[in-house]
Amino acid sequence: MKTIKIKYHNKNIEKIEKIDVGDWIDLRAAETITLHAGESALISLGVAMKLPDGYEAQVAPRSSTFKKWGIIQTNSIGVIDNSYSGTNDIWKFPAYAVIDTVIQENDRICQFRIVKKQPEIQFEEVDELDDIDRGGFGSTGIN
């Protein structure tokens, strides 16, 4: 079992816990913030963590985030490596509002999971690849 050390910067948010169903763990807004359509903000999640060596966190919106608040994550998915692990390296959610909205402190706005980092790789330039072409980007090769 891997251990994640966590520092809470807001004592009002509920503690993070791993639930039995699913691999993703919810994160909460650590502040109340008002956004108008077209505005963006880095919403504090109120935590700093030390991930296990060899792992990184992937942060993404919850499936209900857009429906409830009309916000999207500006970088689609966030990657936090285990070197971002100081006491004041507070995790944030980069949000863009498409409607006027208010996110309340303690609202569950995103989620994360930890995954092993990419192994060491090297690139080899070739003139041709050995696989069959699938028909181009965005295609499974089926018309």
DSSP per-residue letters across 86-115: STT---EEEEEESS-EEEPTT-EEEEEEEE
HEC per residue, 23-87: CCEEEECCCCEEECCCCEEEEECCEEEECCCCEEEEEEECCCHHHHHCEEECCCCEEEECCCCCC
Q: Which of 63, 66, 74 is nearest to 22 (CA)?
A: 63
Active site residues: 81
Q: Which residues of 82-120 are buried (b: 16+ CB within 10 A; e: fewer)?
A: bebeeeeebbbbbbbbeeebebeebbebbbbebeeeeee
